[in-house]
């Protein structure tokens, strides 16, 4: 277990180092923290008071992120809770299967949202709060390494925002929890997608890596909200867990300062570098350069990313290294070579192991 962890860590580090050479956009920056007050104070916005914060999960699984906009997730700063190692969020995307097995149990509330499949590696941040308006809002993004190849499978990693026990992490306008199987681009990608208008593909196997993020897919910036709370103290539990096995990390990013009693303002997407009118030389025949206003990127739409030049990401090798099942190092190397063909089978055997 220890050796697996350090193996994954080392693997991820070298791959990231390699990828950074080719990535034009800056990657999200992660500082792990399992201090509940640090996490909660980061998201605290106006009109809310918070108390009795508690965190349960691996210390590497959660933390603070910065520089999210240039990585493409649509939120600049905030907190991240994952089902593995939060630092694996850092792009570029070098693997279809970045994972950390924290050997932790799941969460009963999350298990109740799905049926018949166990949850693992839960990270849970809970606290009490009061709202001056009786309303509650915050912004978030759900991301996962399970995309796209495990869409509509049992590895339906899930998270929830349980407000006094009731999940408010829902597809807008519905009572359907946000998860791999409820927001995706289909499997195979492009076929039978569910709520694809909320989904951003970043999968290496399906035209990625588009964003400077390890996760193979993620949602638009979504708003969790509840109107008309009763007076007094309420409880919020933010929880995320692997489903079906410990592998393939998922994450939820919550925007800093947006946990508020009023609708938080939209994230300020950085203006494209303003194009200044050039000093026209006297005889300038063309008063031209009426530069068309760059199309403003509105908030929920993740800014069109600078594509990471594909050819420089050596496709199969890094992926395979990361995917090697736990102890069999030599066989693992062989397996890497055959990764593209046999990924499903490897996943299946790894699953059998972790379920025991």
d(CA 45, CA 256): 8
Going by the DSSP 8-state scheme, the letter that residue 133 receives in this structure is: S
Which DSSP string do the residues of 201-260 spell out, in sequence order?
E--GGGT---SSBSSSEEEPPEEEEE--PPSS-EEEEEEEEEESSS-S-EEEEEETT-BB
Pairing status of strand 78-82 against strand 199-201: unpaired
Site for Ca ion in 138-197 (CB under 5 A): 157
11 binds Ca ion (CB under 5 A): no
Q: How far is the CB of 120 from Ca ion (least distance, A)?
A: 6
Please identify, using beta-carbon distances, which residue of 142 and 259 lies nearer to Ca ion. Answer: 142
**Pick from 58, 242, 264, 303: which binds Ca ion (CB under 5 A)?**
242
Q: How far is the CB of 61 from Ca ion (least distance, A)?
A: 8
Q: How far is the CB of 156 from Ca ion (least distance, A)?
A: 9
The contacts of residue 174 (CB under 8 Å, 6+ apart) are: none
Do 63 and 32 meet the contact criterion of CB atoms below 8 Å apart? Answer: yes
CB under 5 A: which stretch of 5-13, 47-55, 67-75, 120-128 binds Ca ion? 120-128
Alpha helices in 72-115 (DSSP H): 108-113
d(CA 120, CA 203): 23
Site for Ca ion in 14-73 (CB under 5 A): none
Q: How far is the CB of 245 from Ca ion (least distance, A)?
A: 7
248 binds Ca ion (CB under 5 A): yes
How many residues form the binding site for Ca ion (CB under 5 A)?
A: 12
Q: How far is the CB of 155 from Ca ion (least distance, A)?
A: 6
Please identify, using beta-carbon distances, which residue of 83 and 200 lies nearer to Ca ion. Answer: 83
Helices 2-20 & 316-323, crossing angle to 10 degrees?
A: 160
CB under 5 A: which stretch of 121-129, 160-168, 179-187, 332-340 binds Ca ion? 121-129
Please identify, using beta-carbon distances, which residue of 133 and 205 lies nearer to Ca ion. Answer: 205
Secondary structure of 163-199 as H, E, C letters: ECCEECCECCCCCCECECCCCCCCCCCCCCCCCHHHE
212 binds Ca ion (CB under 5 A): no
**Pick from 107, 149, 216, 267: which binds Ca ion (CB under 5 A)?**
216
Interface map 78-117 toward Ca ion (x if CB under 5 A): -----xx--------x-x--x-------------------
d(CA 47, CA 7): 45
d(CA 57, CA 35): 11
Q: Can you say whether residue 213 is alpha, beta or left, with left for phi > 0 and alpha for psi between -120 and 50 degrees? A: beta
Main-chain phi, psi angles of 125, to 5 degrees:
-115, 120
Distances (CA, A) of 39 to 220, 224, 235: 22, 18, 16
Please identify, using beta-carbon distances, which residue of 138 and 248 lies nearer to Ca ion. Answer: 248
Q: How far is the CB of 252 from Ca ion (least distance, A)?
A: 13
**Pick from 123, 194, 200, 214: which binds Ca ion (CB under 5 A)?**
214
Q: How far is the CB of 240 from Ca ion (least distance, A)?
A: 10
Please identify, using beta-carbon distances, which residue of 40 and 239 lies nearer to Ca ion. Answer: 239
Q: How far is the CB of 58 from Ca ion (least distance, A)?
A: 9
Please identify, using beta-carbon distances, which residue of 144 and 167 lies nearer to Ca ion. Answer: 144
Positions in the binding site for Ca ion (CB under 5 A): 83-84, 93, 95, 98, 121, 157, 214, 216, 242, 246, 248
């Amino acid at each position: 277990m220890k050796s697996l962890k350090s193996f994954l860590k080392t693997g991820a580090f070298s791959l990231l180092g390699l990828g950074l050479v080719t990535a034009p956009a800056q990657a999200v920056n992660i500082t792990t923290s399992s201090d509940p007050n640090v996490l909660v104070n980061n998201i605290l916005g106006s009109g809310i008071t918070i108390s009795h914060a508690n965190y349960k999960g691996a210390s590497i699984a959660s933390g603070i992120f910065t520089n999210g906009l240039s990585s493409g997730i649509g939120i600049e700063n905030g907190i991240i809770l994952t089902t593995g190692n939060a630092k694996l969020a850092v792009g570029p995307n070098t693997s279809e299967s970045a994972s950390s097995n924290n050997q932790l149990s799941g969460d009963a509330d999350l298990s109740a949202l799905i049926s018949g499949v166990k949850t693992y590696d839960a990270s849970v941040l809970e606290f009490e709060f009061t709202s001056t308006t009786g309303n509650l809002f915050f912004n978030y993004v759900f991301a996962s390494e399970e995309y796209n190849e495990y869409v509509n499978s049992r590895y339906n990693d899930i998270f929830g925002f349980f407000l006094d026990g009731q999940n408010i992490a829902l597809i807008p306008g519905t009572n359907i929890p946000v998860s791999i199987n409820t927001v995706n681009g289909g499997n195979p990608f492009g076929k039978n997608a569910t709520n694809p208008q909320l989904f951003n593909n970043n999968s290496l196997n399906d035209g990625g890596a588009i964003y400077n993020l390890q996760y193979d897919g993620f949602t638009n910036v979504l708003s969790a909200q509840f109107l008309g709370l009763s007076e007094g103290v309420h409880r919020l539990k933010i929880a995320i867990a692997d489903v079906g096995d410990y592998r393939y990390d998922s994450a939820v990013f919550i925007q800093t300062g947006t946990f508020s009693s009023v609708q938080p303002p939209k994230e300020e997407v950085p203006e494209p570098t303003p194009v200044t009118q050039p000093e026209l030389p006297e005889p300038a025949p063309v008063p031209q350069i009426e530069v068309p206003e760059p199309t403003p990127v509105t908030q929920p739409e993740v800014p069109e990313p600078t594509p990471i030049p594909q050819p420089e990401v050596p496709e199969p090798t890094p992926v395979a290294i990361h995917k090697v099942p736990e102890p069999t190092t030599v066989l693992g190397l062989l397996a890497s070579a055959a990764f593209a063909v046999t990924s499903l089978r490897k996943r299946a055997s790894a699953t059998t192991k972790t379920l025991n």
